[in-house]
Structure 1
Amino acid sequence: MKLPPKLKKALQLILSLGVALWIFWFLYKDIELDSFLAQIKSSKWHWILGSLAVSLIGFWIRGWRWTLLISKDEGKAVTASRAYHAVMVGYLVNLLVPRAGEVARCGVLQRTNKVPMGHLIGTVILERTIDFVFLLATIFLAFSVENQLFIELAGEFIDLDNLREKAFSNLPVVFGGFVVFVLTLYWIGRRFRDHGLVQKIQHFFREVLGGVKQIKNLQNPLGFWLSSIVIWVIYFMTMYMVSMAIQSTAILSMGEVLLVMVMGSIGMIAPVQGGIGTFHALVALILIQFGIAEADGKIFAAIIHGSQMILMVLAGLLSWFWMLRLPVESQPEQA
């Protein structure tokens, strides 16, 4: 029996929230509330408040970067201030419904600046494509900076020496298996090229490549690339400042914090509200590998995630109320 679209979306929302809360409960069921509160009280709050201030700057830069993608020929000109408020409304909605915030922030600018929804959705897709490219670049950077640490972490789960020895002793078999694997992928791509899943994968990578190429046609491509770099530097600064606020994580090197940021970023991609559960699980996992006590790793994840969520809720609500005050016919504000 086919479910009505609204009921299907509601069930998906409930399921994603249920999974997120279950993961969160499973992680923190053994953490005593007194220990958590003691860690919060003993934290250096000037670092945490500083991280929130830096995050706000990052949100504003994200809004400014968005204006570079919005054509001035579409509707009324969008200022960085207005784009920032729309972005914050989007973050607020994302905490309730995963991915819905992207549509919500577009709807805000459609209402206040009469920019066509299709054009705005296109800019968001392009923006997310570039963010994905930067995530891959950050993962590569983390591997380059901490390649030995990557190898050690891999060794925790896989016997690398034994695997290497077997691979060299059976080199013809390994090479042949690799060739067969590549040919199999090629055959699947040719044989099922009309299949929906294969087409979606091909379409995704075409969008990534097309998005990167499209940036050069912007009026300010340099500003776009520089702001994108700054946004990811700010992500790192936020994580690093919170690590300095907690005694158990203050010993982490910058390379280790970079790895923590990568794991947290991957956790935020998961289709659950605000990365609840998945962010905490991955951040705590990598911290444990660094020798941080399990409880301290989980508390660190809760503090940085919780502080960011509170910031997004408060700033998102303020932006929502501010945007509601603007009439549809309002003239674009001066930057």
Structure 2
Amino acid sequence: MNPTLKKGIQIAISLGIAVWIFWFLYKDIDASSLWNQLQTSNWFWIGGSLLISWVGFWLRGWRWTLLISKEEGIPINPTRSYHAVMVGYLANLLVPRAGEVARCGILTRTNGVSLGHLLGTVIVERSIDLLFLVGTIALAFLFENQLFLELFSGLVNVDSLGEKLGNNLPIVLGGGVVLILFFYFLFRKFKNHGLINKLQGFFRQIFSGVKSISQMSNPAGFWITSVAIWVIYFLTMYFVSLAIESTANLTPGEVLLVMVMGSIGMVAPVQGGIGTFHALVAYILIQLGVSETDGKIFAAIIHGTQLVFMLILGLISWLEMMRIPAWIKPDKD
């Protein structure tokens, strides 16, 4: 099959899934309910969420410059890397995962930094962000462990499960050992299999990414900025929760849990997290006692305002970067 046609089919399927999930969620929501919520929401807080999210975009650009070697091409300043990041967000709204390549391609064009080097820095960024996502999930569990247990018990009878495990402890321990040995020998036997190699490569990338940060000129700046970016994610969600009456009473721990679900929804391979973000955010809000309609409207407002904001900033950044002439490698002769 033609690679272009194959890619087009993948994009169409991804968009189709996103639109279907979104339609399924909102088919019973009256448009007037959404409009009424938009009118009654406190736009001071929504505006604050957009402003602080812009600071987060800029910090992402600055953090990226710390990873890029200054020995390649023209040194990249934070403003230019910020614009490249926003072009990446714009590309992701069109094609899932295209933003990583797009933002690297922009800086290769304007600054002459090799595409391979830039893609390597993006892999490091993504590895660190994954670690922070896992850490945020753990933090949310620490603050809202009772809710986690309630959600889990809705699927499994925790008391019955604990009693059965206690009564069959030797079997459980023995089964655990057998399972560990099974996976150990499975990995050894099929260590050259494509899937096993991908898993090993994935964990090697995370390890090498963390290791490479310690070797850069400003590792402290990188880690502090990474923490600040995830704090900003939380504040963006928290500010919007304050803007809407039905979510204004959520505790910071509950908003953190909503943020975690939203982050997982954004990881899904669909354009801009459309549908998946809304479904997961609305689901957890319903578990927190927010009505189904209000939960879905909250998800639509925060995602919609951020989407429009990123679209505007992305277009501005794209126009700005297109104004810069392409870098030409100097002739050594």
Pairs within 5 Å for 1:259-274:
259-274=257-272
Pairs within 5 Å for 1:145-294:
145-294=143-292
Pairs within 5 Å for 1:1-335:
3-329=1-327
Provide, for residues 303-334 of structure 1, a one-character-per-residue CA deviation record: whole Å limited to 9, x for no partner. 0001110010000000000111111249xxxx
CA distance in 2, matches of 1:4, 1:182: 43
CA distance in 2, matches of 1:309, 1:277: 13
CA distance in 1, matches of 2:292, 2:182: 42
CA distance in 1, matches of 2:327, 2:222: 29
Provide, for residues 142-190 of structure 1, a one-character-per-residue CA deviation record: whole Å limited to 9, x for no partner. 1122222211221222211111111111112211221221111112111
Q: Report the counterpart of residue 333 of structure 1 in structure 2.
A: none
Aligned length, in residue pairs: 328
TM-score by length of structure 1 reads 0.96
CA distance in 2, matches of 1:285, 1:190: 41
What value does the CA root-mean-square deviation take over the aligned residues? 1.0
CA distance in 2, matches of 1:142, 1:131: 16
Question: Unaligned 5+ residue runs, structure 2?
Answer: 329-333
CA distance in 1, matches of 2:286, 2:176: 34
Q: Report the counterpart of residue 331 of structure 2 in structure 1.
A: none
CA distance in 2, matches of 1:154, 1:11: 37
User: Amino acid of the residue matched to residue 15 of structure 1?
Assistant: I
Question: Unaligned 5+ residue runs, structure 1?
Answer: 331-335
Q: Cα gap change, 1:256/1:197 in structure 2, threshold over 3 Å: closer, same or farther?
A: same
CA distance in 1, matches of 2:154, 2:45: 32
CA distance in 2, matches of 1:156, 1:254: 24
Among the aligned pairs, what percent are the same residue?
62
Matched residue SS, 1:295:
helix
TM-score by length of structure 2 reads 0.97
Provide, for residues 37-96 of structure 1, a one-character-per-residue CA deviation record: whole Å limited to 9, x for no partner. 111111111100110000000000000000000111011010000000000000000000
Provide, for residues 93-133 of structure 1, a one-character-per-residue CA deviation record: whole Å limited to 9, x for no partner. 00000011110001111111111111111111111111111
Matched residue SS, 1:64:
helix
Matched residue SS, 1:328:
coil
Matched residue SS, 1:95:
helix
Which consecutive aligned stretches of 4+ in structure 1 deviate over 6 angstroms post-superposition?
none
CA distance in 2, matches of 1:143, 1:316: 34
CA distance in 2, matches of 1:212, 1:149: 32
Provide, for residues 226-245 of structure 1, a one-character-per-residue CA deviation record: whole Å limited to 9, x for no partner. 00000000000000000001
User: Amino acid of the residue matched to residue 34 of structure 1?
Assistant: S
User: Amino acid of the residue matched to residue 149 of structure 1?
Assistant: L
Provide, for residues 243-290 of structure 1, a one-character-per-residue CA deviation record: whole Å limited to 9, x for no partner. 001100111100000000001000100000000111011111111110
CA distance in 2, matches of 1:237, 1:111: 35
